[in-house]
Amino acid sequence: MEVLSAKEAAALIQSGQTISVSGNGEMLLPDEVLQQLEQRYLETEQPDQLTLVYNVIPGAQRSGTGIDRFAHKGMVKRMYAGSYYTLKVDRLNTLIAENEVEAYLVPYGALYNMVRAAAAHQPGILTAVGLHTMVDPRMAQNKLTPRTTEELATVQVIDGQEFLFCKALPSDVAIIRATTADEDGNLSLEHEPNSIGILHQAMAAKNNGGIVIAQVSQLAERGSIHPKTVTVPAIFVDYVVLVPEQMKNMPYNPAWTGDIRLPVKQLAPAPLDYKKVIARRAAMELEPGALVNFGFGVSAGVPQIAAEEGIAEQVIFNVEHGPVGGIPNNKEAFGAGVNMMAVMDAHAIFDFYDAGRLDMTCLGMAQIASDGSINVSKVNGKYNLGGFIDIVHATKKIVFCGSFTAGQLHVAIENQAICIIHEGRHKKFVRELAHLTFNGREALKKGQEVYYVTERAVFTLTDKGVTLIEIAPGVELERDILQQMEYRPHIAEELTYMDKRIFSPEKIGLDEAERFAGKQSRRYAR
């Protein structure tokens, strides 16, 4: 292992190489090396024609950082990623919109495993995840530009069952981040909330004749890192870049790493707005002992509601980035959590998602078709898929959460009722989806239980398609619901009002519900 400056490390990368980059927002972000790589390209136009591979969005919280440092015409030829836009990262979408790159949108779980397959010199992976959705090659919506022509996956039939065969993704250079490197190059992550696949990123480069560059906060004496805390052994590390201030934009938080526990009962209640209304109604679908995933955005408020209601310890929350149990974080620190019982690597989490181990998930929704299908992957010309397709693949209960319309929606909550002050500009219940990210017809075949929760109405999925089952107090059915949809949904014969407690500042009493009352905390065995 050799210690280099970030500029020296960036000089090692050659034109035409495949670069794998770690990071989830500010977490595990090797931004000093990426900054020097960008600077080199701006000064010399080298290296160019790179292939970029990453999973979660590195640098999401700060515009122009992370993967956006590759967003220069000619610098990147091809990209494989689960997301191209979130928070303040958006420049890669410009390259896509202008057809300047080849770009593939790949589900997080599949992408992790394609990297892992490369580490083992396997040709690729077989998975049923993504069949009959936008990543199915027969639909080919995951090839995002006209110049993206090569097939990433093929359909294969084994014992009468269809699978997608996705090619492995070896790399020439892995640029990763850790907390500590010892004198041999062993890496530990004591100040990072999760590991999100960096071991396999390193192996996919090193085992294929490439190099691994690790940015770290500190150096340690040989042998001073306990073997059990080494995440990436020195046998997979070539160069180390020392950046003591690398966590200045998201400092070490001992609660996120499990070094301390927080008294969640002291959390301040979330303000009563339409987002809380949606999260509360979704939380009413929770069951004791259930293993529950949730996504970014409105649905990320569900654990907060569980904590406010005193049932958080009876539900096992989980996000695909690593935390199992406890209360996962929202917003800028999404992917971390507090009071976890365990932190797994992301690739292992997707293994049990694919197997149908999740009892429930709460996810966002951008467009909803009459057959219950969903688009979240192409919104306003921007692409963001994440682990959505992996998560909904085999989960027993799916609760989609989101506002009824979008774009400057203004909703007030008065006297335990909804008052729509200004309707959103964009309808979300539409005749035609921009992308097919969730296939409602396939969900019915699988026997999945599906709900669509908004601030003014709740729908479920039946053999008649999207079916209205609840409306909010204060809402007029025709004006506020049916006229704001591009199709007429099926309406349940026993249409009811949403529970009025959802619209009150007081607790809604989930801890007193029959299924939760008297139950012991942490019913983890299932």
pLDDT in tens, 351-373: 999 999 999 999 999 999 999 99
Mark 324-333 as b/e (b = at least 16 C-beta within 10 Å). bbbbbbbeeb
Q: What is the DSSP letter of 89?
A: B
pLDDT at 267 over 90: no
Question: Reduced to 3 states, what is the DSSP secondary structure of residue 389?
Answer: helix
Task: Grade residue 70 by pLDDT with cuts at 50, 70 and 90.
Answer: very high
Question: Reduced to 3 states, what is the DSSP secondary structure of residue 157?
Answer: strand
Task: Grade residue 263 by pLDDT with cuts at 50, 70 and 90.
Answer: confident
Contacts of 21 by beta carbon, 8 Å cutoff, 6+ apart = 30, 34, 52, 53, 54, 58, 66, 67, 174, 175, 176
Amino acid found at 20: S
Task: Grade residue 213 by pLDDT with cuts at 50, 70 and 90.
Answer: very high
Average per-residue pLDDT in the chain?
Answer: 94
Q: Which of 245, 249, 252 is nearest to 6 (CA)?
A: 245
- Written as six digits, the tokens of 410 are 């203004």
| Average pLDDT of the residues in 177-182 | 98
pLDDT of residue 295: 87
Distances (CA, A) of 452 to 62, 316, 318: 32, 22, 21
Q: Where are the alpha helices (DSSP H) in 288-335?
A: 302-308
Q: What are phi and psi of 462, to 5 degrees?
A: -130, 180
Task: Grade residue 526 by pLDDT with cuts at 50, 70 and 90.
Answer: very low
Contacts of 82 by beta carbon, 8 Å cutoff, 6+ apart = 55, 56, 105, 106, 107, 108, 111, 385, 386, 387
Q: What is the DSSP letter of 193?
A: S
Cross-strand bridge partners of residue 382: 379
- The continuous run of DSSP H or E covering 459 comes out as strand 457-462
Strands 124-127 and 161-167, sheet pairing: antiparallel
Helices 108-119 and 198-206 pack at an angle, to 10 degrees, of: 40
Query: How many angstroms separate the CA atoms of 173 and 208, rounded?
Result: 10
Query: How many angstroms separate the CA atoms of 236 and 206, rounded?
Result: 6
Question: Reduced to 3 states, what is the DSSP secondary structure of residue 390?
Answer: helix
Query: How many angstroms separate the CA atoms of 256 and 12, rounded?
Result: 34
pLDDT tens readout for residues 18-30: 999 999 999 999 9
Task: Grade residue 83 by pLDDT with cuts at 50, 70 and 90.
Answer: very high
Mark 437-447 as b/e (b = at least 16 C-beta within 10 Å). bbbbebbbeee
Cross-strand bridge partners of residue 363: 400
Q: Compute the chain's Rg from CA coordinates.
A: 23
Cross-strand bridge partners of residue 86: 89
pLDDT at 454 over 70: yes
pLDDT tens readout for residues 465-504: 999 999 999 999 999 999 999 999 999 999 999 999 999 9
Amino acid found at 462: T
pLDDT at 525 over 80: no
Contacts of 505 by beta carbon, 8 Å cutoff, 6+ apart = 272
Amino acid found at 411: V
pLDDT of residue 518: 58
Q: How many CA atoms lie within 13 A of 23 on its CB side?
A: 32
pLDDT at 520 over 70: no
Query: How many angstroms separate the CA atoms of 180 and 420, rounded?
Result: 53
pLDDT of residue 329: 86
pLDDT of residue 464: 97
Distances (CA, A) of 448 to 11, 198, 462: 51, 33, 10
- Give the residue numbers annotated as catalytic, written as ranges: 320
Asked whether the beta carbons of 291 and 368 are under 8 A apart, the reply is no
Task: Grade residue 104 by pLDDT with cuts at 50, 70 and 90.
Answer: very high
Sign of CA dihedral 134, 166, 317, 298: negative
